[in-house]
Structures are given as C-alpha cells and as structure tokens.
C-alpha cells in the first residue's frame, strides 16, 4: 500500500470516526423519539377503542336504568306480570339479545326473557357487583357454542327507596355495536386487537376460534404486566411467539383489558426507513470526505512519489542519471539530497567490491583443494583449476551435470539423493564417494557442502570443497581386516569372553557370550555390548548377590593393578538346566587405556560327575521328602481349587448319582442362605429351586430360572460325570445371564414398540382416507337430499291445496244432487278419501326419512372431521351420538341401545381420535352379542374426570385373554374379521389424552369398558 493511500486511509478514518461519533447520538435520539411517538399513537388507538366500548356499556346501563325506573316495584312478587312487562320491551330485547331477567337480592330468579337465564341461579357475588353498577362477564350458550357476554343491571327500589330487586340484561359483546368490529379491525397490515379478562380468557379476538380460550400463565409477558395494573405500550412477545409492540388499556366498565398488537417490523417501519436514509447520508458524507482527502494528499506527497519512482528504476540507470532531481525546501528535499550522497558512496564501494571479487576468485583457483559451486537450479556453475587437474576434464565437460559422470556408478544414486535432500532443506552436508582420477583410478573423496546467500541475504546456491581421502580409507580397511581376524579367533573359543574398559563397560564379546545372552533373554539388556558389567554385578540380589559382588571386586583389583589374575567357581541357572562356571579375569596387554578380559568357562560336566555320588546317597531321603511333599501338594491343590470355585460368580454344585449335594461353592450358599454343612447330602434341586425362584422355562434338569427377590436370571446346566470305579454323578452350574436377559427383553420391547407404531400409522392413514371418503360422500348426498326435502315440502303444500279444492267442489255440489252422486261415485272408485289420508302419512314418512338421511350425513361429516384434526374443545355427548349414528347399522340388528347421559363439561381433545375409540368399543360390544342383547352407554363427570362406560351383556372375555386384549395384533375373531389393532390403538389414544381405559368382564354375563379423561385436559394430548 502506497504512502499516499495509507495517509488517505488514516485521514478518512479520522473523518469517518468524527462523522460516526456525531451521527450515532443523533440517531439514538431520533430513534428513541420515534419509538416514543409510535408507542403513544398506538396507545391512543387502544385508549380510543376502550372509551368507545365504555360508552356503549354506559348506554346499556342507561337503557336498563330507564326500564327499571318504569317498572312497578309491586310487581316484583308477580313473575307473570314481570315476564309480560319484559316481553313488551321489544327494543330492549333487541339490544339485550341474550335475555333480560329480574332477580331478588338472595339470587332467586323472578322472571326472564331468555331460556338460558331461566336455568341459572345468580351468585351473591354477581348480585353484589350488579347492585354496585359493575358489569359482569360470563359465557352464554348459542347454536354455535359458548360466546362471551356482558351483564349490566339497574336497581329496583320501592317507594321508600329500599332496594328490593335487580333488573339485569345480557348482551353478546361479539356484536358489531360492542366488540364485534375487533374481528375485522386491521391494525396496520398484520396487527390486530383483542380483549382478555382477569382470568386470562380471551373475550374477543380476530381469530374467532380463539374466543373464550384461556391462556397459560406466563404465555404472554405483556398480559401478565397488564393484569398487575400496567397500562401503556411495551415491546412484547405474544402467545404465538411473534415479537411486536403491544398497547394495554383496562376497560373501566367491565374490568377487562383491551390490547392492540402490531409486529415490530411493521410498527418500527418508519424507524427502519429513517435508519436506512441516515446510513445513505452518512455513507455519502464519508465518500465526499474521502475524495477531498485523496485530492489533498495527492498534492502533498507528489514529490515523495517522484522520489520513490526514481528509486524503483535505479537498476536501469547509470552514472549521473542515478541521482535524484528533487529540490524542495522541505523534508522531502533533504531526503533527496541525502539519497544522492548515499548513491555516490555506493558507487565508490562497488568498485572496491569488484577488485575484492577478482582477488578471491584467483585465490580459489590456486587453492590445493577441489572447490565447487552450484546455483539455484542445483547444477554446478563453478569448479576451480585443482578440480580440472584432478579429473583431467575440461570446463565445458564438467560444469552443469557433467561432473556426475566421474562418480562411481554404485555411489552416484546415493550422492544425488544426499544432495537433493540437503538442497531441499537448505542444510550443510558431508558425504563420501568415489571419483574418477585422471589416471583412470577411482579415489575416495570427502565432499563438504553448505548453502550460501547473496549480498541481499537471499539463498543463492551451494558452495563446497572435496578432499582426497583414499589413503585414509585404505588404512581403515586394513585395520578392519585385522579386527575381523582377531574376532574370529576369539569367537572360535568355547569360553564366554568379554572385554571391559576401565569403567566396567563391555566393549566387545565373543560368539559364545552372545549365544549365552540370546539363550537367556532377561540378560540381553544387562550384559550385552555397551552395558556396564560392574554395575550389573553390584546390583545383583538374592542368592547370587555375594558371588556377583565378589566377581566385581576381583575385576576392580585387576584393573587397578592390585592383582594380575582373579578366578572363582560359581553356579548359573539357564532356562533348561543348572550349570557351573569358572570365571577368570586377566589384564589386557597392549597400549592405551587399561582393559581386562573376562572369561567364563562351563565346567558343568565335571561338576555333575562330582555330584552324582552325593546324589545317590541322598536318594532315599529325597524320596521320602518327595512323598511328603506330594501329600502336601494334594492338600494344597484341593484348598486352592475350592478357593478358585468360591471366587467365581457362577453357582457350581457337585452331586452324586442320587442327586445329593457333595460339594458346592460359596455362591450356592449365598443364594440358599445356608452354610455348606446344611447343604451337603440334600437333593440339589431343593438347594437352587427355592420358593422365590420362577421355573417356567426349566425342564429336564436344564433351562432358565428367575430369582424374583434379586431379579437375577440363571442358565442352569447339568454335566454328568463318571469317576473312578462305579462312582457317578453330575456337576450342576448356574450361570448369571441377567444382563443378557435384560438386553434381550429391551430389544424385544423396542421391536414391539416399533411394530405398534407402524400399525398405528397405518391405521391413522386408513382412518384419514375413510374420513376423506366419508366427507366426500356426505357432500354428494347432501345436494340431492336438499332437492328431495324441498320438493316434499312443496308436495305437501300442493296436496293441501288439492284437498282444499276437493272440499270446495264437494261443498258446491251439495245443491246439485246428480252432480254430488257422480262425484261421490267417482270419489269411491278412485279411493280419494284413502288417498287423501295416506298422502299426508306418505309425505310425513318421506320427510322423516329425508331428515334421517340428513342427520346421518351430518353425523358422517362430524365423525370424519377431515378439517378438525386439531386439538379443540368439543361436546363429548355430540361425539358419542354421531359415532352411534355411524355404527347404528352394526348395532340395530343385534342389540338395543340404551343411553344414560350425564351432564358433561366441554373437553379439549382430538375429536376424530376419540370417535375412533368409541366406534371400536361399540363395534366390539356388538360382536360380543351372539343373537340379541343390550348395549348401555353411560357418561358421568366427577372430581375433574369425565368417564364414558360402554356395557354389553354379551359372551364376556375369558380370564386368559383379558391380560392380552390391548396387545397389538392380538384378536380372538376369525381370520378376515379383525386385525387385533382396535383396542391397542384405542388404548394409545386414551393415554395420549392423559386418561385411562379399564375393563371388567364376566363370562356369560357381559363386558364393561370405561374410558376416563381429565376434564381439565387443555394443553394435554
């Protein structure tokens, strides 16, 4: 990077830093102000919407107060009069669309206009709130499910001003004049508003499905703050995980909280645009500043750039052209003048360097050693005159790679490899090879080379010299030949001979010594060449310590001249036999440092002959000792064998031919919890087949047994044996296979779960396909059934008109006797009276059939629930009825269906899955009835649980089958009628909903399946 560029970059960085330090605080201030303004505007919108709702509630209070003022207090005790009065207020009934009612102070309902209100008793807490003018929120029933309602009230006072009753009106807050417009209100493009009460229940939401949904505690941090009194706007994450700007405003009239939520990306869109334009302006300012700095710096450093260009082109200039022509009064001018002085001095030194170079080249040429040089390409570019005189070659023949031709063919590959390796590593080397002399003889050369650098310190090649070492190599070879002769002579001796230096280190050994060491591997590192023999002797321990240390002292005495010879006889064990040796130490005669010769002679044959006589005398004593030792060894062997069996984990029992225990190890006594004395003589099955041991897979003296108390599995195996004579018996072993058994059970369980999961997936796909088909069939049937129902209604009207016309004709014919008789005759011939009576019955039956088809189609669509696979709140009674209608064709010919429904709360679940459970249980109940029977369906709600019982009086379930009815693929039905998956899938679905399924059955009397589900199952499944 040029100095101009560096200075420009530094100046630009300083300017950019100044601009950033100025712009960042400004941006932070503008950003905070914009955020505050955006939050204020959004909160103003929430405040406006809350005020609008409160105004509507105040209007509702005014309406109900006017009605209460117009009510005669004396009519409080006249329910019929009150009901007539309330029914007369049509305008109020339209406004309070969920009913109006009068209640006494004790909560008793006096009169009402709404069916739902008539069934409800008002709690004292709600009465207290209504009396104090507070609105009460609750849920109202509607054809489409529960809806959020608001109740307002006005007091009814007697003439003395005492409160005698309360007039209350309930209205649906989802209507447009209250909160209904919230569902269509769009805040920005992706924002929305919603209302939530103190119980975290959504009163109104743009997504109508979520209305009356209860949020979990902590699902929305902003709502938690609002419930604790916060009003305003915060950055918040909603229950769906969308980060946004949320404004909260409490409704004074109902105690609800109105919230407006706008995603952050949209809320801060203006801020993001400001940031974008601000960045563009800052970048533009930085660019302009950089251009100005670049122009100014170009003018400032122009003389310096001229100087640098001159220096760069110096190599192409000569003489006066090498001087710089920059003459400015500043520091650059001083630098140019100093540079010119340096150039003049360099020119002077260059001339002196050329003269020195010529002198050194002359010196190299006259040097009596072979000198060479190689360039960067690894080829020789210089050889001195001595080299050419040695080889007899000319310069053109030897330079480059020609000198390699004079190297002995056997040495050339090694020379090339050594030089290539050193050249790649840039390292010095020394090597020896044979070079062809001018007289035709190959002479030994010691070649020394090292890398050298040029004047700039860069690697320039290799330089080296070569010495003729032929005479030295011949002397070395003669010495080696003499050494080989001496070594072969020593190796021919049978004694083990080693030569030690003054420190006791072994410097040479003969063949017999080496063979002895190889035959004794532990000695290979201790008494081989290079080892310190004295140190080995000094370190000896045991019975040989005294002999070794004595031998070491004898070696030291000979080395120090205290004794001329040392000798000692000793024994030495080899891997095959016991040997005896005589060791001798003598001083080595010759010049140089003191050496000793250590010789070990094998005298085993002589020693054995001497000991043979002594051995024969001691033979009797030895036999006696051997016999005694044999008895001790038998006893010791028996003891060691018993200890060995006690140490193993397997149970081992030795039994006689009658199966009685003769011996056993410790593991048997620990399992039986009895000492060995009590087990000896008992039949071995009584020892291991204990009451707490399961023997299901045990047979014929072998197999697996399970010890329940320790949960251990054993593999029992019996091995018969035949002893000396007629003695027979068996060895029984129990090997612990607990871990293997557990691994096998785990693999079996994993395989079962995998099969079950696969079957469930297939069944779910099958049910989904059936649901799609059912929905399509229902849609196709609905269209023609609409025509049929409509036409039957029209036909009934036409029939009524025809009958009316016939009655009119009969009435007009009363005054004409002949005409009346003809009409009567024709009436009797055509059986008009029968047709008229039967026509009404036929149309009624047809309409009932059409309605039956419509209901079946509706139940079929409800059962299939193609669009309702989600987790939602449903009425279980409705689910049961739709499922019964679907399977009614399977039930009606075999059973009478009896329904005993209790009051059930709404349940959050997967309705399609529960329909499948009810269908499986109902179809199984029908299959259990052989001819004609009864199926009872009961529902109850108790202590937070919903129970559904399906009872039949069929054949019942056998006890041996009861334990397996929920296993996948288990079925007692004939092939082609059942897959064995119905109850297994039903069990998994109920467990998935956090419930349980139980069954009680008695053969010949019937079976009852009970499904229990938690009524507070929201969030489960």
- pLDDT tens for 832-887 read 877 877 777 788 878 777 776 766 666 555 555 544 456 788 888 988 888 888 88
| Buried b or exposed e, range 778-795, using 16+ CB within 10 angstroms | beebeeebeeebeebeee
Measured N-to-C along each axis, helices 817-829 and 738-812 cross at an angle, to the nearest 10 degrees, of 160
| Buried b or exposed e, range 600-617, using 16+ CB within 10 angstroms | bbbeeeebeeeeeeeeee
Alpha-carbon distance of 462 to 727, in angstroms, equals 93
- pLDDT tens for 116-133 read 444 455 666 666 666 665
Q: Of the candidates 703, 714, 640, which has an alpha carbon nearest to the alpha carbon of residue 672? A: 714
Sign of the C-alpha dihedral computed for residues 655, 661, 664 and 668 taken in this order? positive
Burial class (CB in 10 A: 0-12, 13-18, 19+), 498: buried
Q: Of the candidates 944, 949, 786, which has an alpha carbon nearest to the alpha carbon of residue 880? A: 949
Alpha-carbon distance of 1011 to 742, in angstroms, equals 33
Question: How would residue 1020 be classed by pLDDT, with cut points 50, 70 and 90?
Answer: very low
**Residue 963, CB half-sphere, CA atoms under 13 Å: how many?**
2
Model confidence at 97: pLDDT above 70? yes
Task: Record the tokens describing residue 32, joined without a space.
Answer: 């905070």
Q: Are 433 and 460 in contact (CB under 8 A)?
A: no
Alpha-carbon distance of 892 to 873, in angstroms, equals 30
The whole-number average pLDDT for the span 909-928 is: 86
- CA dihedral of 266, 271, 276, 277, whole degrees rounded to 10: 130
Task: Record the tokens describing residue 945, joined without a space.
Answer: 């649980």
Sign of the C-alpha dihedral computed for residues 513, 516, 518 and 521 taken in this order? negative
- pLDDT tens for 228-251 read 888 899 888 887 788 888 999 888
- Residue 541: what pLDDT? 80
Q: Which of 172-181, 209-218, 544-553, 744-753 has the lowest mean pLDDT?
A: 172-181
- For tokens 């070492």, what's the residue? 469
User: Residues with Cβ < 8 Å from 682, sequence gap 6 or more?
Assistant: 660, 661
- pLDDT tens for 750-793 read 777 776 666 656 656 665 555 556 666 666 676 677 667 777 77
- pLDDT tens for 100-113 read 888 887 777 888 88
Most confident of 355-364, 562-571, 625-634: 562-571
Percentage of residues in the chain with pLDDT exceeding 70?
A: 84
- Residue 573: what pLDDT? 62
Q: How far is CA 581 from the centre of its chain?
A: 74
Question: How would residue 134 be classed by pLDDT, with cut points 50, 70 and 90?
Answer: low
Q: What pTM did the predictor assign? A: 0.34
- pLDDT tens for 30-67 read 888 888 888 888 888 888 888 888 888 888 888 888 88
Model confidence at 1000: pLDDT above 80? yes
Q: Of the candidates 232, 206, 200, which has an alpha carbon nearest to the alpha carbon of residue 41? A: 232
Left (φ > 0), alpha (ψ -120 to 50) or beta: where does 477 sit? alpha
Number of separate helices (H) and strands (E) present in the chain: 29, 33
- Residue 339: what pLDDT? 74
User: Residues with Cβ < 8 Å from 933, sequence gap 6 or more?
Assistant: 894, 895, 896, 952, 953, 954, 1006
Q: Are 939 and 877 in contact (CB under 8 A)?
A: yes
* Residue of higher predicted confidence among 142 and 381: 381
- Residue 121: what pLDDT? 55
Name 235's bridge partners. Answer: 245
* Residue of higher predicted confidence among 427 and 293: 427
- Residue 118: what pLDDT? 43
Length in residues, the chain:
1021
Task: Record the tokens describing residue 410, joined without a space.
Answer: 């056997």
Question: How would residue 358 be classed by pLDDT, with cut points 50, 70 and 90?
Answer: low
Model confidence at 1011: pLDDT above 90? yes
Q: Of the candidates 564, 506, 565, which has an alpha carbon nearest to the alpha carbon of residue 536? A: 506
Alpha-carbon distance of 375 to 460, in angstroms, equals 6
- Residue 862: what pLDDT? 54
**Residue 6, CB half-sphere, CA atoms under 13 Å: how many?**
4
Question: Phi, psi at residue 99, to the nearest 5°?
Answer: 110, 160
Alpha-carbon distance of 751 to 743, in angstroms, equals 12
- pLDDT tens for 929-964 read 888 899 999 999 988 899 999 999 988 888 888 877
To the nearest whole number, what is the mean pLDDT of the chain? 79
Ranges of beta strands (E only) in 771-910 are: 872-874, 895-900, 907-909
Domains by residue range for the chain, with CATH: 24-267 (3.30.450.20), 367-476 (3.30.450.20), 493-610 (3.30.450.20), 648-867 (3.30.450.20), 869-1020 (3.30.565.10)
- Extract long-range pairs of 162-166: CB within 8 Å, 24+ residues apart: 163/105, 163/131, 164/73, 164/76, 164/104, 164/105, 165/73, 165/76, 165/102, 165/103, 165/104, 165/105, 165/110, 166/102, 166/103, 166/105, 166/127, 166/130, 166/131
- pLDDT tens for 184-207 read 667 777 888 888 888 888 888 877
Question: How would residue 500 be classed by pLDDT, with cut points 50, 70 and 90?
Answer: confident
* Residue of higher predicted confidence among 468 and 175: 468
User: Residues with Cβ < 8 Å from 64, sequence gap 6 or more?
Assistant: 92, 96, 100, 152, 153, 154, 167, 168, 169
The whole-number average pLDDT for the span 572-598 is: 77
Most confident of 425-434, 467-476, 690-699: 425-434
Q: Are 467 and 488 in contact (CB under 8 A)?
A: no
């Amino acid at each position: 990077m040029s100095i101009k560029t560096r200075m420009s970059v530094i100046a630009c960085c300083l300017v950019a830093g100044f601009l950033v330090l100025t712009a960042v605080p400004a941006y932070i201030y503008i950003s905070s102000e914009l955020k505050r303004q955006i939050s204020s505007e959004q909160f103003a919108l929430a405040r406006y919407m809350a005020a609008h709702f409160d105004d509507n509630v105040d209007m509702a209070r005014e309406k109900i107060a006017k009605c209460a003022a117009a009510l005669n207090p004396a009519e409080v005790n006249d329910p019929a009069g009150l009901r007539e009065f309330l029914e007369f207020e049509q305008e109020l009934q339209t406004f309070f669309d969920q009913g109006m009612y009068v209640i006494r102070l004790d909560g008793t309902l006096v009169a009402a206009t709404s069916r739902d209100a008539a069934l409800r008793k008002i709690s004292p807490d709600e009465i207290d709130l209504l009396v104090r003018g507070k609105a009460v929120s609750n849920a109202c029933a509607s054809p489409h499910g529960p809806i959020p309602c608001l109740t307002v009230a006005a007091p009814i006072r007697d003439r003395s001003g005492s409160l005698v009753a309360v007039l209350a009106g309930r209205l649906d807050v989802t209507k447009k004049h209250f909160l209904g417009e919230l569902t269509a209100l769009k805040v920005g493009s992706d924002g929305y508003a919603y209302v939530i009460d103190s119980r975290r229940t959504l009163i109104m939401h743009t997504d109508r499905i979520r209305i009356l949904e209860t949020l979990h505690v902590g699902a929305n941090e902003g709502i938690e703050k609002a419930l604790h009194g916060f009003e305003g706007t915060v950055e918040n994450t909603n229950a769906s995980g969308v980060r946004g700007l949320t404004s909260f405003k409490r409704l004074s009239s109902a105690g609800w909280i109105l919230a407006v939520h706008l995603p952050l990306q949209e809320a801060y869109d203006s801020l993001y645009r400001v940031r974008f334009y601000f960045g563009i302006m800052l970048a533009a300012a930085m660019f302009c500043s950089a251009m100005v700095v670049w122009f100014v710096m170009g003018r400032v450093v122009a003389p310096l750039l001229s100087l640098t260009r001159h220096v760069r082109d110096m190599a192409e200039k000569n003489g006066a052209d090498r001087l710089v022509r920059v003459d400015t009064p500043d520091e650059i001018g001083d630098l140019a003048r100093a540079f010119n002085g340096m150039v003049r001095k360099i020119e002077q030194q260059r001339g002196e360097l050329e003269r020195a170079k010529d002198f050194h080249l002359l010196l190299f040429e006259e040097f009596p050693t072979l000198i060479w040089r190689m360039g960067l390409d690894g080829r020789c570019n210089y050889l001195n005159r001595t080299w050419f005189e040695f080889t007899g070659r000319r310069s053109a023949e030897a330079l480059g790679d020609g000198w390699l031709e004079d190297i002995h063919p056997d040495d050339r590959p090694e020379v090339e490899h050594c030089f290539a390796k050193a050249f790649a590593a840039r390292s010095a080397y020394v090597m020896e090879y044979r070079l062809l002399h001018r007289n035709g003889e190959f002479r030994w050369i010691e070649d020394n080379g090292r890398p050298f650098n040029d004047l700039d310190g860069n690697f320039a090649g290799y330089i080296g010299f070569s010495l003729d070492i032929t005479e030295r190599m011949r002397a070395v070879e003669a010495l080696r030949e003499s050494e080989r002769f001496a070594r072969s002579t020593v190796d021919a001796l049978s004694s083990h001979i080693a030569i030690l230096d003054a420190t006791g280190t072994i410097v040479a050994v003969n063949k017999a010594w080496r063979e002895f060491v190889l035959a004794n591997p532990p000695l290979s590192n201790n008494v081989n060449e290079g080892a310190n023999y004295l140190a080995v002797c000094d370190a000896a321990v045991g019975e040989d310590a005294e002999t070794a240390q004595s031998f070491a002292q004898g070696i030291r005495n000979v080395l120090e001249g205290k004794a001329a010879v040392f000798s000692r006889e000793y024994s030495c064990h080899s891997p095959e036999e016991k040997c005896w040796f005589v060791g001798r130490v003598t001083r080595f005669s010759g010049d140089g440092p003191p050496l000793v010769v250590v010789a070990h002679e094998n005298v085993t044959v002589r020693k054995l002959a001497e000991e043979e006589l002594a051995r024969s005398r001691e033979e009797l004593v030895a036999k006696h000792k051997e016999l005694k030792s044999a008895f001790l060894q038998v006893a010791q062997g028996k003891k060691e064998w018993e200890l060995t069996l006690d140490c193993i984990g397997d149970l081992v029992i030795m039994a006689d031919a009658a199966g009685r225990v003769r011996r056993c190890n410790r593991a048997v006594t620990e399992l039986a919890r009895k000492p060995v004395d009590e087990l000896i003589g008992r039949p071995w099955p009584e020892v291991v087949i204990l009451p707490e041991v399961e023997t299901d897979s045990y047979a014929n003296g072998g197999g697996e047994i399970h010890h329940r108390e320790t949960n251990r599995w054993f593999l029992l195996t019996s091995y018969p044996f035949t002893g000396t004579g007629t003695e027979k018996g068996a060895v029984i072993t129990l090997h612990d296979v607990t871990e293997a058994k557990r691994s096998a059970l785990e693999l079996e369980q994993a395989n079962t779960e995998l099969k079950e999961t696969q079957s469930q997936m297939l069944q779910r796909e099958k049910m989904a396909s059936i649901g799609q088909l059912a929905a399509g069939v229902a849609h196709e049937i609905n269209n023609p059934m609409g025509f049929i129902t409509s036409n039957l209604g029209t036909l009934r009207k036409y029939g009524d008109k025809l009958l009316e016309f016939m009655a009119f004709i009969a009435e007009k014919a009363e005054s004409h006797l002949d005409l009346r008789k003809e009409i009567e005759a024709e009436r009797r011939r055509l059986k008009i009276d029968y047709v008229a009576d039967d026509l009404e019955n036929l149309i009624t039956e047809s309409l009932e059939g059409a309605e039956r088809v419509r209901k079946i189609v509706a139940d079929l669509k409800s059962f299939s629930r193609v669009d309702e696979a989600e987790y939602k709140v449903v009425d279980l009674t409705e689910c049961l009825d739709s499922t019964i209608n679907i399977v009614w064709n399977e039930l009606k010919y075999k059973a009478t269906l009896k329904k005993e429904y209790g009051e059930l709360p709404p349940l959050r679940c997967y309705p399609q899955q529960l329909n499948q459970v009810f269908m499986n249980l109902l179809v199984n109940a029908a299959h259990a009835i052989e001819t004609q029977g009864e199926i009872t369906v009961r529902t109850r709600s108790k202590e937070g649980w919903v129970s559904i019982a399906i009872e039949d009086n069929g054949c019942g379930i056998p006890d041996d089958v009861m334990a397996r009815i929920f296993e996948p693929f288990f079925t007692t039905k004939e092939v082609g009628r059942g897959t064995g998956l119905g109850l297994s899938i039903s069990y998994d679905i109920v467990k998935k909903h956090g419930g349980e399924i139980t069954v009680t059955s008695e053969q010949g009397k019937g079976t009852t399946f009970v499904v229990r589900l938690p009524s507070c199952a929201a969030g489960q499944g």
